[in-house]
Amino acid sequence: MVVRKKPRLLLCSTLALSLLCVGVLRADEVEFVNGAKVEGEVIARDDDSITVKTVVDGRELTRRWTLDQIRALTIDGKREALASEAATAPLASSAGDARSEAEVEALIDKLGRSQPEWWESAQLTYPKTLDLNWPEPPFRQWDNQRYIGQYVWDIISPNPSKWQGGIRLMHHLLMTHKDNPTLRTQAMNELGRMYFDYMQDYARAAFWWRAAGVEDNDSERHGVALAECYWRLGSKPMAMELLGKLQPQFSMIKLWAQMGELDKALGMADANAKGSWADIANIYAGDACRAAGQNQRAIEYYQKVLAIPASGRTARRILANQERAKASMEAVRLFDMLDLKQIPDGDYRAASLGFKGPLTVEVAVREGRIESVRIVQHQEKQYYTAMIETPRQIIEKQGVEGVDATSGATITSQAIIYATAKALAGGMK
């Protein structure tokens, strides 16, 4: 579907902060080592990072980036090239062997013991009815104004404007329960998850997960995410060492593939593709192949999902994954045929299946380039940064090939990728 509109006056940045349509507070400009740029107002800067304020869909938002990610800053018309211009990989988008283990350890310790730049501007607010003793809710009882886990799930996670406040709440619980090791560990684990899922602050996520003892518990569900932190921070060897200590988990498939170890990823998937979790194993394998650019191989794995009988207690889950496999196959078949040069200027819409239902995107194409990617309709709740980072990657790469699904919201990210592919294909001459 194509919706033709007059050219927008709103600036759409190549590194937009939300739904990829960004207005400008002041014409400061940040140039990233990956070639992307964003405009806004630089409101804070220290030896390690900068904080930028911009306007997103009429709302002011702030975002912090480490100096490793930045090639140059232009403030009040004066451009300053940073030392990172010739150095390391950006923390939040690519990784590998950019840093030694000692450098990663030092970075985790330094940032983990410090407050984020946005700390003072984030308010500590929560319902007076919230039980700070963190009790387990009774079976099948839901009260998001009393139980902390339900409050985080229902109120904080679906609302990016509350993410920073949610992190402050966890820090508050750390102090409240300074004499209760069990609750402190629970708060530390949640801090790690929040810094990881909400902020993509991999150093602070790693700090708090390590404080919670994740590295020493090979069954801990956060272990794979901690390994990803190490990789994102620039140490693939640290990530691989930790993965080798953990019990096998499906989330490893995605991380192995992201780190360029596709054979290991598929080996793990194939080893689990004959049991009761075959649908999930093959979905992960297909997604891994898709991210690696092996589209035909991805289709073969998705076809395996369709061949699984949907019966018994797992029937509902299998049917849902079969729908996702169909949507994935439909989109992946379009990847090789997409050509931006054959798409007239216009805004193009299409939908794909997210976690909770259809997700619709609108893709603006101008002069043979993707100008913006907007999520115009969705039913997702736990989407974290998927709706920011996935469109950003699509614009940065000027296509859907090689776009990584956002950790913690993989299904939502895949839906954005696939809907974008369908929208672009619909616009081709």
Identify the pLDDT of residue 151.
Answer: 97
What's the pLDDT band for 75 if we cut at 50, 70, 90? confident
What's the pLDDT band for 55 if we cut at 50, 70, 90? low
Q: How far is CA 286 from CA 252, 281, 329, in A?
A: 14, 9, 9
Q: Which domain holds residue 170?
A: 101-247
Domain CATH number, residue 379: 3.90.1010.20
Please identify which residue in the block is written with the tokens 């629970």: 186
Cα dihedral value 271, 275, 277, 281, nearest 10: 30
- 189-244 per-position pLDDT tens digit: 999 999 999 998 999 999 999 999 998 875 567 999 999 999 999 999 999 999 99
Is there a domain that residue 95 lies in?
no
Q: Is 427 helix (H, G, I), strand (E, B) or coil?
A: helix
For the ranges 85-94, 183-192, 217-226, the lowest mean pLDDT is seen at 85-94
Most confident residue range from 48-62, 65-79, 162-176, 277-291: 162-176
Q: Which region holds residue 164: left if phi is over 0, alpha if psi is between -120 and 50, else beta?
A: alpha
DSSP assignment, residue 248? P
For the ranges 81-85, 223-227, 319-323, the lowest mean pLDDT is seen at 81-85
Same domain, 133 and 20: no
- Of 220, 247, 274, the position where a domain reaches its end is 247
Same domain, 349 and 329: no
Report d(CA 199, CA 179) in Å as an integer.
Answer: 28
Q: What percent of the chain has pLDDT over 70?
A: 85
Identify the pLDDT of residue 407.
Answer: 75
- Of 46, 62, 86, the position where a domain reaches its end is 86
Is there a domain that residue 112 lies in?
yes
Please return the burial class of 18, using the count of CB atoms within 10 Å of its CB with bins 0-12, 13-18 and 19+.
buried
Is there a domain that residue 136 lies in?
yes
Domain CATH number, residue 148: 1.25.40
What's the pLDDT band for 97 if we cut at 50, 70, 90? low
Total domains in the fold of the chain: 4
Identify the pLDDT of residue 218.
Answer: 59
Same domain, 224 and 127: yes
Please identify which residue in the block is written with the tokens 């780190």: 259
- First-last CA distance in the chain: 13
Is there a domain that residue 38 lies in?
yes
Identify the pLDDT of residue 60.
Answer: 62
Most confident residue range from 5-19, 72-86, 136-150, 322-336: 136-150
> What is the pLDDT averaged over residues 114-124?
92
Please return the burial class of 211, using the count of CB atoms within 10 Å of its CB with bins 0-12, 13-18 and 19+.
middle
Residue-averaged pLDDT of the chain: 84
Identify the pLDDT of residue 217.
Answer: 74
> What is the pLDDT averaged over residues 374-383?
89
For the ranges 161-170, 357-366, 382-391, the lowest mean pLDDT is seen at 382-391
DSSP track, 329-348 = HHHHHHHTT--GGGS-SEEE
Same domain, 237 and 328: no
Same domain, 395 and 414: yes
CB within 8 Å of 80: residues ≥ 6 apart: 72, 73, 74
Q: How far is CA 75 from CA 22, 24, 71, 244, 364, in A?
A: 18, 13, 14, 45, 29
Residue 381 dihedral angles phi and psi, to the nearest 5°: -120, -50
| CA nearest neighbour of 286 among 266, 316, 308 | 266
| CA nearest neighbour of 218 among 246, 196, 258, 238 | 246
Query: With contact defined as beta carbons under 8 Å apart, do 360 and 350 qualify?
Result: yes
Identify the pLDDT of residue 92.
Answer: 42
Report d(CA 157, CA 382) in Å as an integer.
Answer: 6
Identify the pLDDT of residue 261.
Answer: 95
Identify the pLDDT of residue 91.
Answer: 43
Same domain, 66 and 159: no
Is there a domain that residue 388 lies in?
yes
32 pLDDT exceeds 90?
no
Is there a domain that residue 400 lies in?
yes
Is there a domain that residue 253 lies in?
no
Same domain, 420 and 402: yes
Residue 134 dihedral angles phi and psi, to the nearest 5°: 60, 50
| CA nearest neighbour of 303 among 277, 264, 330 | 330
Same domain, 300 and 173: no
Same domain, 117 and 228: yes
414 pLDDT exceeds 80?
yes
Same domain, 227 and 117: yes
DSSP assignment, residue 96? S
What's the pLDDT band for 86 if we cut at 50, 70, 90? very low
| CA nearest neighbour of 1 among 284, 376, 381 | 376
Report d(CA 119, CA 204) in Å as an integer.
Answer: 13
57 pLDDT exceeds 60?
no
Same domain, 196 and 223: yes
Is there a domain that residue 1 lies in?
no
- Of 62, 86, 110, the position where a domain reaches its end is 86
DSSP track, 54-94 = EEETTEEEEEEEEGGGEEEEEETTEEEE-GGGGSPPPTTT-
Identify the pLDDT of residue 314.
Answer: 92
- 307-320 per-position pLDDT tens digit: 999 988 999 999 99
Same domain, 203 and 222: yes
